[in-house]
Amino acid sequence: MEYITLNNSVEMPILGYGTYQTPSRITEQCVADALRVGYRSIDTAQCYGNEHEVGIACRKSGIPRSELFITTKLWACHGYQNALRSIDSSLKKIGMDYIDLLLIHEPTGNVHEIYRAMETAYKDGKLRAIGISNFLDNRYLDLVNHCKVIPAVNQVETHVFRQQKKLRQLECQIGTKHESWSPLACGQNDIFKNNLLLEIAGNHGKSVAQIALRFLLQQGIVVIPKSIHIERMKENFAALDFDLEADEMREMEQLEIGKSLFD
């Protein structure tokens, strides 16, 4: 596993396992499979409804807690006290003494007060790192200008068709790591039939998914691909074991379309 170092010196795996839209009835098995493959970072959220199952799978795995990196996200919070209660609720559902990374899921509600609650929980040792999700340039800057703890991570739609270069440059200047949700674009825009990606995949003897993931990983972007199939989990994990050529990276940069695939 490769790691990135967050702005508070916490190390985070650069490749994680996502659980978005994974039904709670199969989450425990899927996370258990991912852990067996070698994943150590698991991404969940309050609104996914599977925090409890993620926690069960992690505890049953026998892997030391110190080797796991658990991310979850606050949802539908409205202020400071509400957010504090919501953090404690996630800790209880996951069944752990601390969460490695807590994010505000999206910029709704009183984000300054919600983030202030996260800062309190961070100082109390309940959270190892705090950050945000779906905060684009203006909302990101607004929060940065009002917070005491700079967000460690910003998790945003990022893939070969939506590369977020401007936002990533801004985050780099301030000290926030960029994390991609939907690194394979959820299969949209015919990503798996793209001629350039197919050509590069053929050159390396890899799949299009591995090429698309490697493009992000090679730029230091954290990725959390999701699959319920263990063979796909293994395939995605293998994106760590090769490098793309500089000219291939430049060619893939031209796939940017300048807009979200998910509105």
> Which tens digits make up the pLDDT trace of 207-259?
999 999 999 999 999 999 999 999 999 999 999 999 999 999 999 999 999 99
C-alpha to C-alpha distance for 243 and 256, rounded to whole angstroms: 20
Three-point CA angle 75, 163, 211, nearest 5° = 105
Residue 139 has pLDDT above 80, yes or no: yes
Phi, psi of 224 (to 5 degrees): -135, 65
The mean per-residue pLDDT over the stretch 1-20 comes to: 98
C-alpha to C-alpha distance for 111 and 256, rounded to whole angstroms: 30
Three-point CA angle 151, 80, 54, nearest 5° = 65
The mean per-residue pLDDT over the stretch 122-130 comes to: 98
Token look-up 């910029």 returns 107
What average pLDDT does the structure give for the chain? Answer: 98
Please enumerate, as own/partner, the contacts of 134-141 that have beta carbons within 8 Å and a separation of 24 or more.
Answer: 134/105, 134/106, 134/107, 135/104, 135/107, 136/167, 137/166, 137/167, 137/170, 139/107, 139/111, 140/167, 140/170, 140/171, 140/176, 141/170
Q: How many other C-beta atoms are found inside a 10 Å radius of the C-beta of residue 63?
A: 13
Examine the residue annotation and report whether 17 is marked as an active-site residue of this protein.
no
- Convert the pLDDT of each residue in 57-113 to its tens digit: 999 999 999 999 999 999 999 999 999 999 999 999 999 999 999 999 999 999 999
Contact 127, 99 (CB under 8 A): yes
Contact 108, 18 (CB under 8 A): no
C-alpha to C-alpha distance for 15 and 236, rounded to whole angstroms: 9
Residue 133 has pLDDT above 90, yes or no: yes
Residue 263 has pLDDT above 90, yes or no: no
The mean per-residue pLDDT over the stretch 130-143 comes to: 98
C-alpha to C-alpha distance for 88 and 1, rounded to whole angstroms: 30
Q: What is the pLDDT of residue 255?
A: 98
Q: Catalytic one among 17, 39, 48, 140?
A: 48
Contact 121, 84 (CB under 8 A): yes
**Residue 120's pLDDT band (cuts 50, 70, 90):** very high
- Convert the pLDDT of each residue in 17-59 to its tens digit: 999 999 999 999 999 999 999 999 999 999 999 999 999 999 9
Residue 185 has pLDDT above 90, yes or no: yes
Token look-up 């003897």 returns 205
- Name residues whose C-beta falls within 8 Å of residue 159's C-beta, 6 or more positions apart in sequence: 180, 182, 183, 184, 185, 191, 212, 216, 261
pTM of the model: 0.97
C-alpha to C-alpha distance for 249 and 182, rounded to whole angstroms: 19
